[in-house]
Chains A and B, each alone.
Chain A
Amino acid sequence: MRARGRASLSGELRPVRGALNAALGARRAGYRRLLVPAANAPEAALVDGIEVSAIPSLTRLADLLHGRWTPEPAEPAVPDPGETASEQPDLADVRGQADAKRALEIAAAGGHNLLMVGPPGAGKTMIARRLPGILPPPSFEEALEITQVHSAAGIGNGRLATARPFRAPHHTISAQGLVGGGARPMPGEITLAHRGVLFLDELPEFARAAVDALRQPLEEGRVEITRGQQALDFPANAIVVAACNRCPCARPPDRCACTALELARYQRRLSGPLVDRIDLVCQVETVPAVELVGRSGEDRESSAEVRTRIAEARKRQLARLAGTGVLCNGDMDGRLTRREVPLDKDLAARLLAVRSRLPLSGRGHDRVLRVARTIADLEGRDALAVSDLDEALSYRLDSWERVAA
Chain B
Amino acid sequence: MIDACDPCLRRALLIAHLAPRIAGLLGGGERRAPGLLALPEDDLIAAAAGRRLERALAFLDALDMAAERERLATGASSAVCAHADAYPPLLRDLADPPAVLFLAGRADVLYLLRDEPSVTVVGTRRASPYGTEVAYALGRGLGAAGVPVVSGLALGIDGTAHRGCLDGGGVPVAVVASGPDVVYPRRHRSLHERVCHEGGVLSELPPGTEPFRWSFPARNRIMAGLARMTLVVEAADPSGSLITAEFAKDLGRCVSAVPGRVTSTVARGTNNLLKDGATPISGTEDVLDELFGVGVRSVADPGAPPSGPDDRALRTVLAAAGARDSVEAIADAAGMTVAQTRAALGRLELDGHLVRRDLGGWEPVAR
Contact B155 A391 (CB under 8 A): no
B156 within 8 A of A: yes
B296 within 8 A of A: no
A-B contacts, 7 listed (Cβ < 8 Å): A96-B328, A282-B327, A282-B360, A283-B327, A387-B340, A391-B346, A394-B342
B268 within 8 A of A: no
Contact B360 A258 (CB under 8 A): no
Residue of A nearest to B361 (CB): A253
- Which B330-347 residues sit within 8 Å CB-CB of chain A? 331, 338-340, 342-347
Please give me the 10 A-B residue pairs with the lowest Cβ-Cβ distance, nearest first: A393-B346, A394-B346, A390-B346, A99-B327, A391-B343, A390-B343, A387-B343, A285-B326, A390-B347, A391-B342
Contact B346 A102 (CB under 8 A): no
Q: Which of B136, B187, B331, B358 has the most A CB atoms < 10 Å from its CB?
A: B358
Contact A260 B129 (CB under 8 A): yes
A285 to B360, CA, bound (A): 11
A169 to B187, CA, bound (A): 37
Q: Contacts A263-B129, A391-B342, A391-B343; is A405 near B187 (CB within 8 Å)?
A: yes
Which residues of chain B come closer than 8 Å to A353, judged between CB atoms? 350
Contact B350 A393 (CB under 8 A): yes
Which residues of chain A come closer than 8 Å to B352, judged between CB atoms? 357
Besides A97-B328, A99-B331, A354-B350, 18 other A-B contacts (C-beta < 8 A): A101-B338, A102-B342, A246-B358, A259-B126, A260-B128, A261-B126, A261-B127, A285-B325, A285-B329, A358-B350, A387-B343, A392-B346, A394-B342, A394-B346, A395-B342, A403-B358, A404-B159, A405-B155
Q: Mark B205-223, 1 if CB is under 8 A from A, else 0.
A: 0000000000000000000
Residue of B nearest to A101 (CB): B338
What's the nearest-Cβ distance from chain B to residue A214, in Å? Answer: 20
A256 within 8 A of B: yes
Q: Kindly identify which residue among A99, A246, A258 contacts B328, using a CB–CB cutoff of 8 Å.
A: A99
What's the nearest-Cβ distance from chain A to residue B186, in Å? Answer: 11
B10 within 8 A of A: no
B357 within 8 A of A: yes
- Which A126-153 residues sit within 8 Å CB-CB of chain B? none
B193 within 8 A of A: no
Q: Mark A251-270, 1 if CB is under 8 A from B, else 0.
A: 01110111111010001000
Q: Which of A256, A261, A394, A399 has the most B CB atoms < 10 Å from its CB?
A: A394
Which residues of chain B come closer than 8 Å to A254, judged between CB atoms? 325
Contact B126 A253 (CB under 8 A): no
Q: Contacts A353-B350, A391-B346, A394-B342; is A283 near B129 (CB within 8 Å)?
A: no
Q: Contacts A99-B327, A283-B327, A357-B350; is A246 near B187 (CB within 8 Å)?
A: no
B359 within 8 A of A: yes
Q: Contacts A246-B360, A260-B132, A353-B350; is A283 near B326 (CB within 8 Å)?
A: yes
Residue of B nearest to A285 (CB): B326
Residue of A nearest to B188 (CB): A405
A69 within 8 A of B: no
Contact A404 B136 (CB under 8 A): yes
Contact B343 A394 (CB under 8 A): yes
Q: Mark A159-189, 1 if CB is under 8 A from B, else 0.
A: 0000000000000000000000000000000
Q: Kindly identify which residue among B128, B188, B327 contacts A259, using a CB–CB cutoff of 8 Å.
A: B128
Q: Kindly identify which residue among A99, A267, A395 contacts B358, using a CB–CB cutoff of 8 Å.
A: A267
A358 to B329, CA, bound (A): 25
Q: Which of B128, B156, B326, B329 has the most A CB atoms < 10 Å from its CB?
A: B326
B349 within 8 A of A: yes
What's the nearest-Cβ distance from chain A to residue B288, in Å? Answer: 23
